[in-house]
Amino acid sequence: MVHRDPNISRETAAGFTGGGRQVRILHVPKLEVHNIVMEFPAVRALDGVSLSFERGEVHGIVGENGAGKSTLMKILGGVQRPTSGTMELDDSPISLGGVREALRHGIAMIHQELNLVDELTVAENVFLGREVTKAGLLVRTRMVEETDKILRQVHATFSASDKVANLSIAGKQLVEIAKAVAVDASVLIMDEPTAVLSEPEAESLFELIAKLKAHGTTVLYISHRLAEVCAICDRITVLRDGAWVTTVEARGANPAELARLMVGRPLQDFYPPKTAQPEGDPALELRGFCGANLAVRQGEILGLAGLVGAGRTELAEAIVGARPASGGEILIDGRPQRIRNQKDAMKLGIAYVSEDRKGLGLHLSLNVIQNVTMANLRAYGNVVLNRKAESSSAETWRSDLDIRAGDFHSEVLSISGGNQQKIAIAKWLETKPRILILDEPTRGVDVGAKREMYKLIQRLAAEGMACIVISSELPEILGICHRTVVMREGRVVGELGGNEMSEEAVMHLAAGVAAA
Amino acid sequence: MKRANLLSEYGALLALVLLFIVNVVTRGGNFLQVENLRNLVSQDASVGVIAIGMTLVIIAGGIDLSVGSMTAMCGAVVILLANKFAAGGMGANQAILCAAIGSVLAGAVAGLFNGLVVAYGRVAAFVVTLGGLAGFRSIALVLGDGGEIRSQVSSLQDFGFGGIPIPFVKDASGGPVLFYWSAVVFILVALGAGFVLNRTRFGRYVIAVGANPRAAEYSAINIQMVRLAVYTILGALVGLGAMLVAAKMNSVGTGSVGLYYELDAIAAVVIGGTSLRGGKGRIWGTVVGVLLLTLISNMITAYHIDTNWQGLVRGIVILVAVLIQRGRKEND
């Protein structure tokens, strides 16, 4: 059930399309870009990239954050205009002036950031801007029917007439995908589509991609999950620092090799060696707290696994008082405590680094220094702020966490995901916590930065921090955690330690199937 | 790209300098008279003081449409209190001081009310303060019995037209030219607000709440308190602005004072480059916005243009300012 092995999934994909790989024999260049250059005020995001995408191919684009993947896709999708360069569709030059024009050429994009109207239904979102009408009136039934048809293909658990606001993040991602599929695009750009999907949901997405491909659709697929890219793509292009590095056949490519090409140096063992399992009394203990029983010691890294929607984030938010707790007890150093809001949590030394960096974790329009000191601003003055102290403390974090952002007075918005994540962590380390909850700490973070993040978490633990790591990437949990607690449908359903921890064991608990 | 940034960053200031030069060239000595320049700063000082408070509210992600009506209400309070204290045997200056304090308090309470409903009642600021726009005007009319309230304290106007003598300058009759107290208040309030916004913890919270309230909440910032505080500060500044109006006119027409102040204040804030979406803004920009609007109405009088055009000109200035701001966002 866990198709992490590239070979297994490739066979599935091929079987599904009836030998989908053969479609490429046509060799009709579908979309070509020549010498694309994109310059931003501070950086040259793309430095003369030329690529050709063939009809009916699934083309993976990989690279570290800041390599230019998203910029290239935004140019193809008409969201951004390149500084220079040309594009050809079926050998005739095209210029893209906007999303609408790109759509007219049959190029549709699924954005990393969700662009949905929460207050409308799924069907209304899918047909937004191209509603089916009769004499100026909406024909609801047709739109709902067609949407439901697509939703069934992606195995969505919701229906076309549900309100988008009520869907989980994963659900919203599926709506975005349905939206792009519904326009019957000939080129479909997917930017990190599986980042928020659970494994079964991702599997249905891969099936859908195989179907689209059999249909002759070109799929450009960006992902940080290299195994996944190797499994579902035909060819893979590696970008580094805005330049093309290589394009390889996915057959025979392996994640380690790709990772090496992306960073330009060999990666040592991906997960740093684990520290010894610490002994002692728990720093944080939950007793029936929101349906969870768990404990974490000083110096311990506890994994919190489960499918998307299992209630891990909700539990973490309840611990720090960001949402009301439903019963149970919370003990800090063995003493029961009441946490009504984030301030109480902070006083008890609990910090929570949210999975939603852009929405909850950081102030994107404020600068690095302001973000780093935001949660601990009282330390820099009760009335008048000591701005010198603020910036020197930000500098300390810069060297301590190796935050790579040239100008600390620039907006956090313009900084890469990995460094944003470090800033979010610095912001909470500022409050000198003893218990640190990290929610999806490596989401949207590139390979090199991921490893750094693992090292950082282990270092913090070695220094005595009690860490809880929430992650949807199982290898990550298995790679860095001492123990793993698995949640399903809002409750803790099991705990695995030491040798019991394996992808299979975790998935059995997470999905609620009896172990084989 | 560089030039576009300069324009969007300092557009209002450039426009002010440009118009200033146009005036110097076409009107020369008349325009450069010290009295005229002084009037530019003091003429709309009351709106200026309010606009500075409005800047804080808008940076915090809010809006206040009730400030005009609140000005009338506070203005009524100033005159009624001054008359009452003076009739009670208090010295004229003391009576005026007490009236001013009363006005600031009345404004602060009105602002507190707005803030309470916005922050804790979780009603959209636009709606709450639209209610205030109607309600505070009504209170003003009740206080003034539907008409004008005249001051019986003659020294109120002495304050309105008093000030600091500008050194080395004499008027036509040889007397000193005074830099009005209203302008002094405007400048002090602007400096104070700039300090609060950029140098204090509270100021940082104002920006944080406006930029991303949920992230602020997750950073353990009491966002409701911050919202409450900015509306209360604005209310107090409206009380101060009302005092300046009352002192200058020596009376308050409860139906007419403060009309469209909310629009003028918001216009100055927007022209100054503060984002209506919150989280970003600057006090000096608002000062430039106020001066620009004053200079424009000054020019309409000086060039003998039908004053009925004034509204259209202001409207165009506001639109251009917003369009340039949008340009800045795209350049980012």
Any idea what the CATH number is for the domain that residue B227 is in? 1.10.3470
Section A277-281 average pLDDT: 89
pLDDT at B192 (0 to 100): 98
User: Which residues lie below 8 Å from residue B201, measured CB to CB, with a gap of 6+?
Assistant: A377, A378, A380, A381, A382, A383, A384, A385
**Does the distance separating the beta carbons of B216 and A384 come in below 8 Å?**
no
What integer best gives the mean pLDDT of chain B?
A: 92
In a domain, residue B35? The reply is no
> Are the beta carbons of A345 and B220 separated by less than 8 Å?
yes
pLDDT band of residue A2 (cuts 50, 70, 90) is very low
pLDDT in tens, B79-135: 999 999 999 988 888 999 999 999 999 999 999 999 999 999 989 999 999 999 999
DSSP H helices in A402-437: 417-429
A41 touches chain B (CB under 8 A): yes
Is the CB of B220 less than 8 angstroms away from the CB of A366?
no
Asked whether the beta carbons of residue B201 and residue A361 sit closer than 8 angstroms, the reply is no
Evaluate whether B8 touches B271 at the Cβ level (below 8 Å): no
- Residue B40 makes CB contacts below 8 A (sequence gap 6+) with B291, B294, B295, B298
Please report the pLDDT score of residue A205 as a whole number: 84
Q: Which of residues 206-265 of A touch B (CB under 8 A)?
A: none
Least confident of A9-13, A80-84, A418-422, B182-186: A9-13
pLDDT of residue B314: 87
Confidence at A447, pLDDT banded by 50, 70, 90: confident
For residue B61, tell me if it sits in a domain.
Answer: yes
pLDDT at res. B158:
87
Which residues contact residue B60 at a Cβ distance below 8 angstroms, ignoring those fewer than 6 apart?
Answer: B206, B207, B209, B210, B226, B227, B230, B278
- Identify the band that residue B332 occupies on the pLDDT scale cut at 50, 70 and 90: very low
Say if the Cβ atoms of A378 and B218 lie within 8 Å: no
Which residues of B fall below an 8 Å CB-CB distance to A?
1, 199-202, 204-205, 207-208, 211-212, 214-222, 279-280, 332
On whether any CB of chain B is under 8 Å from the CB of A98, the answer is no
- B250-273 per-residue burial string, b: 16 or more CB within 10 A, e: under 16: bbbbbeebbeebbbbbbbbbbbbb
By the 8 A CB rule, do B228 and B116 touch? yes
Domains and CATH numbers, chain A: 6-106+185-263 (3.40.50.300), 113-184 (no CATH), 282-511 (3.40.50.300)
Two structure tokens written together for A305: 């696994």
Mean pLDDT of A351-358: 92
> Tell me, what's the pLDDT at A129?
78
CB neighbours of residue B192 within 10 Å: 13
**DSSP letter (8 states) at residue A479:** H
Using the beta-carbon criterion (under 8 Å), do A364 and B212 form an inter-chain contact? yes
- Amino acid identity for residue A206 in this structure: F
Residues in B closer than 8 angstroms to A322, CB to CB, are: 217-218
Highest mean pLDDT among A33-47, B1-15, B86-100: B86-100
Checking if the pLDDT of A27 tops 70, the result is no
Which pLDDT does position B3 carry in this prediction? 54
Q: Are strands A187-191 and A107-110 parallel, antiparallel or unpaired?
A: parallel
- Helices B181-199 and B34-42: crossing angle in degrees, nearest 10, is 50
- The Cα A359–Cα B47 span in angstroms is 36
Count other Cβ atoms within 10 Å, centred on residue A426. Answer: 22
For chain B, the three-class secondary structure string (H helix, E strand, C coil) is CHHHHHHHHHHHHHHHHHHHHHHHHHHCHHHHCHHHHHHHHHCCHHHHHHHHHHHHHHHCCCCCCCHHHHHHHHHHHHHHHHHHHHHCCCCHHHHHHHHHHHHHHHHHHHHHHHHHHHHCCCCCHHHHHHHHHHHHHHHHHHHCCCCEEECCCCHHHHHHCCEEEEEEEECCCCCEEEEEHHHHHHHHHHHHHHHHHHHEHHHHHHHHHHHCHHHHHHCCCCHHHHHHHHHHHHHHHHHHHHHHHHHHHCEEECCCCCCCHHHHHHHHHHHCCCCCCCCCCCHHHHHHHHHHHHHHHHHHHHCCCCHHHHHHHHHHHHHHHHHHHHHHHHHC
* Interface size between A and B, measured as CB pairs under 8 A: 72
Min CA distance, B235 vs chain A (Å)? 21
The pLDDT score that the predictor gives to residue A30 is 78
**How much is the average pLDDT of A177-202?**
82
Q: What is the pLDDT at residue A514?
A: 52
pLDDT on residue B274: 92
Q: Say if the Cβ atoms of B218 and A370 lie within 8 Å.
A: no
CB B40 within 8 A of CB B24: no
Is B199 within 8 Å of A362 when comparing Cβ atoms? Answer: no
Query: Could you say which of B1, B201, B207 has the minimum Cβ distance to residue A381?
Result: B201
Confidence check: pLDDT of A24 > 50: no
Is B37 within a domain?
Answer: no
How many angstroms separate the CA atoms of A322 and B208, rounded?
18
Q: Output the average pLDDT for chain A.
A: 84
Q: At what angle do helices B261-271 and B67-87 cross, to 10 degrees?
A: 120
pLDDT at A265 (0 to 100): 60
Q: Is the pLDDT of residue A25 over 50?
A: no
Structure confidence at residue B155 (pLDDT): 85
Q: Taking CB atoms and an 8 Å cutoff, what residues of chain B touch A385?
A: 199-201, 204
Work out the average pLDDT over A178-189. Answer: 86
Residue of B204, B217, B329 to mutate, interface with A, max A Cβ within 10 Å: B204
The mean pLDDT value for B238-255 works out to 95
pLDDT classification of A225: cutoffs 50, 70, 90: confident
CB within 8 Å: B201 and A346: no
The pLDDT assigned to B4 comes to 57
Confidence of residue B271 (pLDDT cuts 50, 70, 90): very high
Q: Which residues contact A442 (CB under 8 A, 6 or more apart)?
A: A421, A449, A450, A453, A454, A471, A473, A476
Cβ contact (<8 Å) for A385 and B212?
Answer: no
Residue-level pLDDT at A41? 58
Residue B244 falls inside a structural domain: yes
Query: Cβ contact (<8 Å) for B204 and A385?
Result: yes
- At A1 the pLDDT is 37
Domain contains B92: yes
When divided into structural domains, chain B yields a total of 1
Q: Which of A353, A385, A386, A420 to mutate to test the interface with B (most CBs of B within 10 A)?
A: A385
Nearest CB to A384; choose among B200, B208, B211: B200
In a domain, B7, yes or no: no
- Per-residue model confidence (pLDDT) at position A216: 85
What distance in Å separates residue A361's CA from the closest CA in chain B?
A: 6
Report d(CA B67, CA B259) in Å as an integer.
Answer: 9
With respect to residue B5, please indicate whether it lies within any of the assigned structural domains. Answer: no
Neighbour count for residue A478 (Cβ, 10 Å): 19
What pLDDT is stored for residue B288 in this prediction?
96
Look at residue B154 and tell me if it is in a domain. Answer: yes
* Mean pLDDT on B242-260: 94
Task: Say which residue, A489 or A394, is predicted with more confidence.
Answer: A394
Q: Is the pLDDT of residue B61 over 60?
A: yes
With an 8 Å Cβ cutoff, are B220 and A375 in contact? yes
pLDDT band at A269 (very low <50, low <70, confident <90, very high): low
Lowest mean pLDDT among A178-182, A231-235, A479-483, B250-254: A178-182
pLDDT at A266: 56
The two structure tokens encoding residue A151: 């939703």
Domain that holds residue B233: 43-331
ipTM: 0.88
Query: Which tokens in the block code for residue A125?
Result: 């979102």
| A372-383 tens-digit pLDDT | 999 999 999 999
- Mean pLDDT calculated for residue range A106-110: 87
